[in-house]
Homo-oligomer: A and B are copies of this chain.
Amino acid sequence: MKRSLIKVVFVLLVMVFASPQLFGQKAHTSAEEAIRMADQQWLKVFAAGDLEKSVEFCTADGSILAPNQPIATGREAIKQSFSAFFSIPGFKISWQPLRTQVAKSGELGVTSGAYQMTFNDPAGKLVTDRGKYVTVWKKQADGSWKVFLDIFNSDLPPA
C-alpha cells in the first residue's frame, strides 16, 4: 500500500514537472502552424490579385522591401507597391515557407521560403523568376498574424 502511494506520488510529480514542457511544446507547434497558415492565406489573396486584402495583411507600420525599389512603409505605400505587381501582364506568383520561427512569447514570428513568379515582358514573352523571401510577422490583439516586414530576392543571375 505504501509503495503504491509512492508510485502515485512519483507519477503525479512527473506529470507536474513534465506538463509545462508538454503544453509549451504544443503551444509552440500551434504557433508555428498558425504563422505558416497566415503565410499561405496571404499568398491566396496575393495570388488572386486582391489588392485590399493583400494590403490588410500588413500592419499599419509594416514595410515591403521589394527588389529595385525603395522600402514601402505604411498601407498607402504598400498598396502602390502591390498595385504595380498586380498590373504586370500575366503576373502569377506562388511561395512556400521552408522555415518558420515563433518567439516563445508568441507575438513575433518569421516565415522564410521559396517563391516562383511568371509574367510577360513588354514583348509578350513569358519570363520565369524564382527566389526566396523572409517575412516577419506580428501577432495582433485579435489573435491574427500580420506582416511587419517582407523582403525577397531572385536566385537567378541578373538578366
Task: Report A's interface with B, CB cutoff 8 A.
Answer: 63, 65-71, 99, 101-108, 110, 112, 132-134, 136, 148-149, 151-159
Which of the residues B112, B155, B157 comes within 8 Å of A63, measured between beta carbons?
Answer: B112
Number of copies of this kind of chain in the complex? 2
Q: Which of B102, B108, B157 is in CB contact (< 8 Å) with A101?
A: B108
Q: List the 7 closest A-B pairs by CB distance, nearest first.
A: A103-B103, A105-B105, A104-B105, A103-B108, A67-B153, A153-B153, A134-B151
**A136 contact set on B, CB distance < 8 A:** 101, 110, 112, 134, 136
Query: Which residues of chain B come closer than 8 Å to A155, judged between CB atoms?
Result: 68-71
B101 and A132 contacting across the interface, CB-CB below 8 Å: no
Q: Known contacts A149-B110, A152-B153, A153-B153; is A65 also within 8 Å of B103 by CB?
A: no
Complex contact A149–B67 (CB within 8 A): no
In Å, the complex CA distance between A155 and B72 comes to: 11
The reply to whether B66 and A153 form a contact with Cβ atoms under 8 Å apart is yes
Across-interface contacts of A132 in B (CB, < 8 A):
65, 70-71, 151
Nearest Cβ distance between residue A11 and chain B, in whole angstroms? 31
Kindly state the separation between the CA atoms of A153 and B72 in the bound complex, as whole angstroms: 13
- Which chain B residues border A67 with CB–CB below 8 Å? 67, 153-154
How far apart are the CA atoms of A112 and B71 in the complex, in Å? 11
| Contact, CB under 8 Å: A134 / B101 | no
13 interchain pairs, CB-CB under 8 A: A67-B67, A68-B154, A68-B155, A68-B157, A68-B158, A103-B105, A103-B107, A110-B148, A112-B151, A134-B134, A134-B136, A134-B151, A158-B159
